[in-house]
Chains A and B, each alone.
Chain A
Amino acid sequence: MTPGLSIALIVLALEAPAGPTQAGAEPATLRCTNPFSGATWDVAIDSARRTADSFPADITDRTIRWHDAARGGNYEFDRASGELTVVYASSMGGTFLKDNCRFVGGADSARADGPG
Chain B
Amino acid sequence: MNRARAFMGIVLIAALNLLPCVPAFAQNNAPAPATPPAATAPAAAAAPAAAAPAPTGTWVAAPPWLNSGNNAWQLAAATFVALQSIPGLMILYAGLVKKKWAINSAFMVMYAFASVMVVWVLWAYNMSFGPKWFPFLGQPGPATSAGFELGQATVPEAASGMPDLTFPMATMTYFQFVFAAITVIILGGSVLGRMSFKAWVIFVPLWMTFVYTVGCFSIWGGGWLSALGAVDFSGGYVIHLAAGVSGFVAAAVVGPRLQADRDHFPPNNLLIALTGAGILWLGWNGFNGGDPYFANANAAGAILNTNICTAIALLTWTTMDSMKYGKPSIVGAINGMIAGLVGITPAAGYVNGWGAIIIGLCAGIIPWFSMNVLAKTTLISKVDDTLGVLSTHGVAGLMGGLLTGVLADPNMLVYLGTGSNAPGASTTGWYYGNFKQFLLQAEAAAFIIVYNAIATFVILKVMSFFVSLRMVDATLQAGDNAVHGEEAYSPV
**Using a CB–CB distance below 8 Å, which chain A residues touch chain B?**
32, 34, 36-37, 39, 41, 68, 71-74, 87-97, 99
Is B155 among interface residues, defined by CB-CB distance under 8 A?
yes
* B417 surroundings in chain A (CB, below 8 A): 97
> B47-55, B97-105, B157-165, B452-460: which one contacts chain A?
B157-165
B226 contacts A39, C-beta separation under 8 Å: no
Is B378 among interface residues, defined by CB-CB distance under 8 A?
no
Partner of B162, one of A34, A41, A90, A99: A90
Is B23 among interface residues, defined by CB-CB distance under 8 A?
no
A88 contacts B160, C-beta separation under 8 Å: yes
B422 contacts A72, C-beta separation under 8 Å: no
Partner of A36, one of B414, B422, B425, B440: B422
Is B228 among interface residues, defined by CB-CB distance under 8 A?
yes
Is B273 among interface residues, defined by CB-CB distance under 8 A?
no
* B406 surroundings in chain A (CB, below 8 A): none
Shortest CB-to-CB span from B220 to chain A, Å, is 5
Q: How far is the CA of A71 from the CA of B162 in the complex (A)?
A: 11
Partner of B229, one of A32, A34, A87, A99: A87
A39 contacts B419, C-beta separation under 8 Å: yes
Closest residue of chain B to A74 (Cβ to Cβ) is B227
Q: How far is the CA of A91 from the CA of B74 in the complex (A)?
A: 14
Could you tell me the dominant secondary structure of chain A's interface residues? strand
Tell me the chain B residues, 249-284 only, with Cβ under 8 Å from chain A. none
Is B129 among interface residues, defined by CB-CB distance under 8 A?
yes
Q: How far is the CA of A91 from the CA of B227 in the complex (A)?
A: 11
Shortest CB-to-CB span from B361 to chain A, Å, is 24
Shortest CB-to-CB span from A77 to chain B, Å, is 14
A72 contacts B428, C-beta separation under 8 Å: no
Closest residue of chain B to A99 (Cβ to Cβ) is B420
Shortest CB-to-CB span from B464 to chain A, Å, is 35
Closest residue of chain B to A32 (Cβ to Cβ) is B420
Is B233 among interface residues, defined by CB-CB distance under 8 A?
yes
A91 contacts B155, C-beta separation under 8 Å: yes
B422 contacts A91, C-beta separation under 8 Å: no
Q: How far is the CA of A7 from the CA of B367 in the complex (A)?
A: 71
Is B293 among interface residues, defined by CB-CB distance under 8 A?
yes
* A92 surroundings in chain B (CB, below 8 A): 220, 231-234, 291-292, 349, 414
Could you tell me the dominant secondary structure of chain B's interface residues? loop
Shortest CB-to-CB span from A10 to chain B, Å, is 43
Shortest CB-to-CB span from A63 to chain B, Å, is 14
B129 contacts A36, C-beta separation under 8 Å: no
* A39 surroundings in chain B (CB, below 8 A): 418-420, 422
Q: How far is the CA of A41 from the CA of B421 in the complex (A)?
A: 12
B160 contacts A72, C-beta separation under 8 Å: yes
Shortest CB-to-CB span from A2 to chain B, Å, is 55
Given A94-B229, A94-B230, A89 and B421 touching (CB < 8 A)?
A: no
Given A95-B425, A96-B427, A89 and B226 touching (CB < 8 A)?
A: yes
A91 contacts B229, C-beta separation under 8 Å: no
Is B69 among interface residues, defined by CB-CB distance under 8 A?
no
**Using a CB–CB distance below 8 Å, which chain B residues touch chain A?**
129, 155, 157-162, 219-223, 225-234, 291-293, 349, 414, 417-423, 425-428, 434, 440, 444
Shortest CB-to-CB span from A66 to chain B, Å, is 13
Partner of A34, one of B225, B414, B420: B420
* A95 surroundings in chain B (CB, below 8 A): 161, 229, 231, 414, 425-427
Shortest CB-to-CB span from A72 to chain B, Å, is 3
* A73 surroundings in chain B (CB, below 8 A): 160-161
Other A-B pairs beyond A91-B293, A93-B231, 15, CB < 8 Å: A37-B418, A72-B161, A88-B161, A89-B227, A90-B158, A90-B160, A90-B425, A91-B291, A92-B233, A92-B414, A93-B427, A95-B427, A96-B229, A96-B428, A97-B417
Q: How far is the CA of A98 from the CA of B82 in the complex (A)?
A: 38
Q: How far is the CA of A32 from the CA of B426 in the complex (A)?
A: 20
Q: How far is the CA of A32 from the CA of B428 in the complex (A)?
A: 21
Partner of B226, one of A36, A94, A99: A94
A89 contacts B160, C-beta separation under 8 Å: yes
Q: How far is the CA of A73 from the CA of B160 in the complex (A)?
A: 6
Closest residue of chain B to A73 (Cβ to Cβ) is B160
* B428 surroundings in chain A (CB, below 8 A): 96
* A41 surroundings in chain B (CB, below 8 A): 420
Which residue among A89, A92, A95 has the maximum number of chain B CB atoms within 10 Å of its CB? Answer: A92
A93 contacts B419, C-beta separation under 8 Å: no
Q: How far is the CA of A7 from the CA of B265 in the complex (A)?
A: 87
Q: How far is the CA of A87 from the CA of B426 in the complex (A)?
A: 11
* B226 surroundings in chain A (CB, below 8 A): 89-90, 93-94
A91 contacts B419, C-beta separation under 8 Å: no
Q: How far is the CA of A77 from the CA of B63 in the complex (A)?
A: 40
B162 contacts A94, C-beta separation under 8 Å: no
Closest residue of chain A to B230 (Cβ to Cβ) is A93
Closest residue of chain B to A33 (Cβ to Cβ) is B420
* A87 surroundings in chain B (CB, below 8 A): 227-229
In the A-B complex, the 4 residue pairs with the closest CB atoms? A72-B160, A88-B161, A90-B161, A93-B231
Shortest CB-to-CB span from B440 to chain A, Å, is 8
* B418 surroundings in chain A (CB, below 8 A): 37, 39
* A91 surroundings in chain B (CB, below 8 A): 129, 155, 158, 162, 220-222, 291, 293
